[in-house]
Homo-oligomer: A and B are copies of this chain.
Amino acid sequence: MTQTTAYPPNLALPPAARPGDPLTAVDTPALVLDLDAFERNLDRLQAAAGAAGVALRPHAKAHKCPAIALAQLRRGAVGICCQKVSEALPFLAAGIADIHVSNEVVGAAKADLLARMARQGRFSVCVDHPAQVAALAEATARHGSALAVFVEVDIGQGRCGVPDAPAVLRLLDALAAHPQLRFGGLQAYQGGVQHVRRQADRRDAAQRAAARAGEVVAALAQAGVACPTVTGGGTGSVEFDLASGVYTELQPGSYVFMDGDYGRNDASSAWRFEHSLFLACTVMSVGDGTRVIVDAGLKSLAVDSGLPTVWHAGAESPQLVYAAANDEHGIVRCRDAAAPRPELGAQLLLVPGHCDPTLNLHDDIVALRGGIVEAIWPVAARGLSR
């Protein structure tokens, strides 16, 4: 998506950076991506999925960026997930034609858009109520398109999804009347597992969740119903989900960036992805000797999962603590008032606590290699929440 403006040409907003610029020249606040770390994250998870014989369908809700989705597909991802119907539009426009909408769709406008997109690609979607099936059937019939339909099973999160195999079978009865709606399998996701801190506790929680999905698969098999695909999982549980024997396809998203909050999970080094995404900000006021003020607050950084950690001079700073986010300001406390503080104009890097909603605040990602800007990637699905 390209933004055009009504400003006189001499008043267009310049890009935050241009290819060839050094990191220090990036106008802030701006999301900056360390391409080397990012590519290692992509390679590592794709290799693990390949070794386990499980398909990888990364979640594009984490990045909302077609350039990143294409990088995932080039490494062997079978397609992508989107969480909203409108979110899929820029990915389809970028030529990505295998998209699973990992969510229920309610509302005539949404069913209509999905049915129209499904004429141009291989789309699937979730249901947990017969009224959703009826609306999808109507829209696809009207547009002459087809969808794979997954029944979402609640494996412990207490959000969407049906509770058990009999409820799945009732939805399959509703599906059976509509040949353009093919049963794709089950979606089973337990978001509550992802951020359990201790690895052993997280393993137990992930195994309990996968076991609930496995019980539904087994009960359906007893009823003569095969599940072509069992899809779900996230970055925090991926090591356990790959080994579960239940999932045939995984949907992790955050591994590409590694949120600050995921970084607080205890994980074996083989499963510790690298922080690749940072919010570059600038010291705009130097306060009273115990703090500096940076130009990045709530409007460029999501804080729902904790405040960011601060990196300075290439590493996490033991001296600097991002202590409070105002709308447009960040208050950075200096632990040791006697130690040197960043000067006015200094650039700091923040590791966002939660990347998903942070990405949703930005139009671009500045991609760098070795500290030099290589590309500017549009966050083309930013704001597409319908």
Contact = CB atoms under 8 A, between A and B. Distances in A.
A23 interface: no
A63 interface: no
Provide the main secondary structure of the chain A interface: loop
A160 B83 CA distance: 40
Contacts of A173: none
Given A28-B386, A304-B303, A361-B383, A329 B160 contact: yes
A5 B91 CA distance: 12
Q: How many copies does the complex hold?
A: 2
A385 B106 contact: no
Nearest to A66: B6
Contact of A284 (B104, B285, B299, B327): B104
Contact of A327 (B29, B291, B357): B357
A340 interface: no
Interface of A: 1-8, 10-11, 13-14, 16, 27-30, 61, 83-84, 86, 89-90, 92-93, 103-107, 109-110, 113, 116-117, 120, 128-129, 131-132, 158-161, 163, 191, 282-288, 291, 293, 295-296, 298-300, 302-304, 325-329, 331, 344-345, 354, 356-357, 360-363, 382-386
14 contacts: A3-B4, A6-B90, A13-B384, A14-B113, A30-B386, A84-B295, A106-B284, A106-B344, A129-B285, A129-B344, A159-B326, A159-B331, A295-B385, A299-B385
